[in-house]
Amino acid sequence: MIRLNKVSLCLGNAGPSSSVQFHLPSFEVEEGEAVALTGPSGCGKSTLLNLTAGLLRADKGEVQVAGVNLADLSPAQMDRHRGSHCGMVFQSFHLLAPFTAIENVCIGLRFGCRKRLNLQERAAEVLSRVGLEDRMHARPDQLSVGERQRVAIARAMVSGASILLADEPTGSLDPETGGEIFKLLREVANENDRTLLMVTHDETLAAKMPRTFDCSGLFRSERINLEEETAAR
Amino acid sequence: MSFLTMAWRYLQFRWLVSLLTISGIAIGVALVCAVLALREESRKALSRDAGLYDLVVGGKGSPLQLVLASVYHLDSPTGNLPYSDYQKILRDPRVFWAAPVGLGDNYSGYRIVGTEAQFFDLPDRSGKPFFRLAHGQVFRDRFEVVLGSQVASSTNLEIGDLFFGTHGLVEVAGAEVHRDFPYQVSGILAPTGTAQDRAIFGTLSSVWEIHETEDRLHSAIQGSALLQGRKERETTAILIRLKTPGLRLWMADEIREGTDGIAAVPINEILRFQQGIIGPVQRVLLIVAAAVVAVACLTVLITLYQAAERRRRDIAILRSLGALPSEVAMLVFTEGLLLTAGGILFGLLLGHGGLAATALAFQEATGLMLDPWRIPVTELIALAIMGMSGATASLFPAIFSYRRTPIHDLRLSE
């Protein structure tokens, strides 16, 4: 389902003669698998998630998601691929403020699934699944943080994406609400045999996942070999 | 959910900025609409008057002044002509219609025009009667008058009412009132939408009678000799419709050579007046209005650019949900189009609404009747140009959104 092989990515300079490099020799996730990405802050968890989502492109190596090599896709094809295969859940929810809960979910469906569907009906169905049947017409600022994350989960799953990518989904929530959101994420992933890749700092939650992947050491600072670079040019 | 709905919701969300931007565009559009509509309408209205007569003959002086005084009831007349000149013109076989105009008095600022009953027989250029009586009848006796529609409405005079004329062409405090010669209203004209609505029409003989009597009285008071015999009677101007308008210039030359007066072609004088005096003023107003529209379009650009800048996070979210760069750009562009369209629509209503609100005051001041809701072709062209300018201004923030990379903007907080 997800396969990253010998992936490297330069993420800027760490000084006049060194750069920050992301190196991942190999990483694989099977269909329906749930994996927690763990490790200290800045170790590369989110970078790995964004590479999988196609929000970052690898400089070298192969990133395969849902059977497609992302390097072969144009930016527009990448957006479409992400919309139809990956549902994203963020730490700060990333809901669109002018729109109600159901409209936020409709927007996810509109861009994620380009089939002709009854958007409202499908969005209402998914919002009911995450327990927000009574809050569909509330705007994000009228929702509690837990409810906002529920809307974000509904938006991520509404298009029928087979992969859920969650970047610290409980990071902004109190432990109790965080626990509920984690439970919900696991449930919706299991229901449709979705693959779940979740970045988390919370060791308790990570321990509840079937598999964890420690991202420590994915980033390293490398000296820039000026001679090599000049020769390459 | 369509782009239109999404764009509308974003505009609603920051309603104050949207409203201010739309208002900015609307003011510019309203100015352009008002100036262009006013230019077109006043041109039509002026031509309606000027087109009635092929020639105006009067005493030596400025041809424009002669036309303004005798056709539009605005300026001072140039000087008088012997009445015999009018009789001579009337006998000319090329003349379809002619009427004398004698000026000298006013009532409440409205000029009393001494003429003859055939004045009202003049048809418009399509052959239909130009003057129609709304009430009463045409004057039949001395000191009977027919009121223009605006005179009747503003003075509240009715059929059978009596009033006194005041000496002079404009209302001046302390001016001599001809109390021995009361006028009686015999008829009221239907509105014509021209300067004729602002005049009072009576017989030329009554104008003569008032002034000859007053002259004799003054002479007697001053102890000077009584007028010896009767002075030759005069007319201020002669209005002429020819059987063939093509004969205008030929006949004008003949009149200039055969009389002590001048002959002016009203439509030529008015066109010159419009091009020479009104035209430059209107051009300046149009330039000001175009500048306002340009600033308004710049406002659209800045507003949308700032909105796009503030919405970098939202744009990144849409991209993370699978929206293409072109779709995000289209959303921003649609917002710009909505702002522009709103501004144009609002401006159109404001401009023409303003004209409608001031049409009556304009008519009272100039006698010209405007159709405030008519949209001339020049205005449609201007609206199209303004629409395109707004669309062009919207293009830049759309391109900005198109070129954003979502990954960095996703880290922005709400």
Task: Give the model confidence (pLDDT) of A100-127 as tens digits.
Answer: 999 999 998 888 776 666 788 889 998 9
B38 with B89, same domain: the answer is no
Which tokens in the block code for residue B368? 């010209």
> Residue B7: which domain range?
3-46+279-409
Residue B272 domain-assigned (yes or no): no
Decide if B59 contacts B80 (C-beta within 8 A): yes
Are B13 and A82 within 8 A, CB to CB? Answer: no
Mark yes or no for CB contact B9/A99 under 8 Å.
yes
B93 and B242, same domain (yes or no): yes
Minimum CA–CA partner of A47 in chain B: B407
- Residues B6, B9, B14, B19: is their CA dihedral positive or negative? positive
Beta-carbon separation of A107 and B324 below 8 A: no
pLDDT of residue B225: 44
Q: Does A3 touch chain B (CB under 8 A)?
A: no
Task: List, as own/partner pairs, every contact residues A6-12 make where C-beta atoms lie below 8 angstroms and the sequence separation is at least 24, other chains included.
Answer: A6/A60, A6/A61, A6/A62, A7/A51, A7/A58, A7/A60, A7/A61, A7/A62, A7/A63, A8/A58, A8/A59, A8/A60, A8/A61, A9/A47, A9/A51, A9/A56, A9/A57, A9/A58, A9/A59, A9/A60, A10/A59, A11/A47, A11/A219
Task: Please state the domain count of chain B.
Answer: 2
Structure tokens at A6: 């010998």
State the ipTM, two decimals. 0.87
- In this prediction, residue A229 carries a pLDDT of 52
Q: Are residues B157 and B297 in the same domain?
A: no
Q: Do B10 and A98 touch (CB under 8 A)?
A: yes
Q: Of B264, B296, B317, which residue constitutes the final position of a domain? A: B264
Q: Which helix (H) or strand (E) holds B362?
A: helix B325-366
Taking an 8 Å cut-off on Cβ atoms, the answer to whether A80 and B317 are in contact is no
Query: Which of helix, strand or coil describes residue B4?
Result: helix
Asked whether residue B87 falls in the same domain as residue B156, the answer is yes
The answer to whether residue A53 neighbours chain B at the CB level (below 8 Å) is yes
| Chain A residues within an 8 Å CB radius of B408 | none
Question: Residue B132 has what pLDDT?
Answer: 92
- Please report the pLDDT score of residue B220 as a whole number: 61
What pLDDT sits at residue B226? 43
- Provide CB contacts within 8 A for B156, sequence distance 6+: none
Is A139 touching B (CB cutoff 8 A)? no
| Chain A, window 148-177: residues with a beta carbon less than 8 angstroms from a chain B beta carbon | 155, 159
Give the residue among B151, B265, B142 at the shortest CA–CA distance from B206.
B142
- pLDDT tens string, chain A, 233 residues long: the values are 799 999 988 877 655 666 778 888 999 999 989 999 998 888 888 889 999 999 888 888 999 998 899 999 998 888 889 988 999 998 888 899 999 999 999 998 888 776 666 788 889 998 998 888 899 999 999 999 899 999 999 999 888 889 999 998 888 888 888 888 999 989 989 988 899 999 998 888 899 999 999 988 888 766 655 455 555 54
CA distance readout (Å), B13 to A96, A172, B19, B307, B317? 11, 25, 11, 11, 17
Residues B114 and B21 in one domain: no
Per-residue pLDDT, B229: 47
How does pLDDT run across B136-184, given as a tens digit for each residue? 999 988 899 999 998 998 899 999 999 998 888 777 777 788 888 899 9
Check: pTM over 0.80? Answer yes or no. no
Question: Strand locations in chain A, DSSP E?
Answer: 2-15, 18-29, 34-38, 60-65, 68-69, 86-89, 163-167, 195-199, 211-214, 219-223
Q: Does A97 touch chain B (CB under 8 A)?
A: yes
Distance from CA of B407 to the nearest CA of A (A): 6
DSSP B34-56: HHHHHHHHHHHHHHHHHTT-SEE
CB proximity under 8 Å: B 258-317 to A? 313-314, 317
Q: What's the gap in Å between the CA of B35 and the closest CA on chain A?
A: 39
Residue B113, in any domain of the structure: yes
Instruction: Dihedral sign for Cα A131, A137, A140, A141, please.
Output: negative
B37 and B154 share one domain: no
Of B73, B162, B157, nearest in space to B112 by CA: B73
Nearest CA in chain A to B317: A94
Is residue B58 within 8 A of residue B81, CB to CB? The reply is yes
Beta-strand pair A34-38/A195-199 = parallel
Asked if A130 and B41 touch (Cβ cutoff 8 Å), the reply is no
The verdict on a CB contact (< 8 Å) between B324 and A80 is yes
Is A97 in Cβ contact with B324 (below 8 Å)? no
Q: How many CB pairs under 8 A join A and B?
A: 64
Q: A153 to chain B nearest CA, in Å? A: 12
Please indicate whether, in this complex, the C-beta atoms of B318 and A107 are within 8 angstroms of each other.
yes
**Contact assignment for B321 to A88 by CB distance below 8 Å:** yes
Same-domain check for residues B61 and B21: no
A227–chain B nearest CA distance, Å: 31
pLDDT attached to residue B224: 47
**Both structure tokens of A151:** 């809307």
Of B136, B96, B95, B87, give the one whose Cα is nearest residue B116. Answer: B87
Domain contains B414: no
Q: What is the per-residue pLDDT for A51?
A: 92
Q: Is the CB of residue B9 less than 8 Å away from at least one CB of chain A?
A: yes
Residue B241 lies in a domain: yes
Asked, for residue B273, whether it belongs to a domain, the answer is no
Comparing CB atoms, the residue among B12, B320, B322 nearest residue A98 is B12
Do B97 and B230 fall within a single domain? yes
- Do B322 and A97 make contact, defined as CB atoms within 8 angstroms? no
pLDDT score recorded for residue B227: 44
Domain assignment of residue B185, yes or no: yes
Whether residue B67 lies inside any domain: the answer is: yes
- Angle at the Cα of B388 (from B385 to B391), degrees rounded to 5? 155
Last residue in a domain, options B222, B241, B264:
B264
- pLDDT score for A231: 54
- Assigned domain for B42 exists: yes
Ramachandran category for residue A32: left, alpha or beta (phi over 0 → left; psi -120 to 50 → alpha): left
Are both B220 and B352 inside the same structural domain?
no
- The answer to whether B309 and B386 are in contact (CB under 8 A) is no
Q: Quick check: B324 and A50 CB within 8 A?
A: no
Q: In this structure, how many other beta carbons lie within 10 angstroms of the beta carbon of residue B348?
A: 18
Q: How far apart are CA B44 and CA B37, in angstroms?
A: 10
Instruction: Tell whether B253 and B175 lie within a shared domain.
Output: yes
Whether residue B79 sits in one domain with residue B31: no
Query: Which of the residues in chain B have pLDDT under 50?
Result: 224-229, 414
Contact A82 B1 (CB under 8 A): no
Write down all domains in chain A, each with its CATH number in brackets.
Answer: 2-232 (3.40.50.300)
Is the minimum CB–CB distance between A141 and chain B shorter than 8 Å? no
**The domain boundary residue, chosen from B232, B264, B296:** B264
Residue given tokens 């401006």 in the structure block: B347
Q: Which residues pair with B114 in a beta bridge?
A: B102, B202
To test the contact with chain B by mutation, choose from A51, A79, A104, A172 the residue with the greatest count of B C-beta atoms within 10 A, namely A79
Same domain, B68 and B197: yes
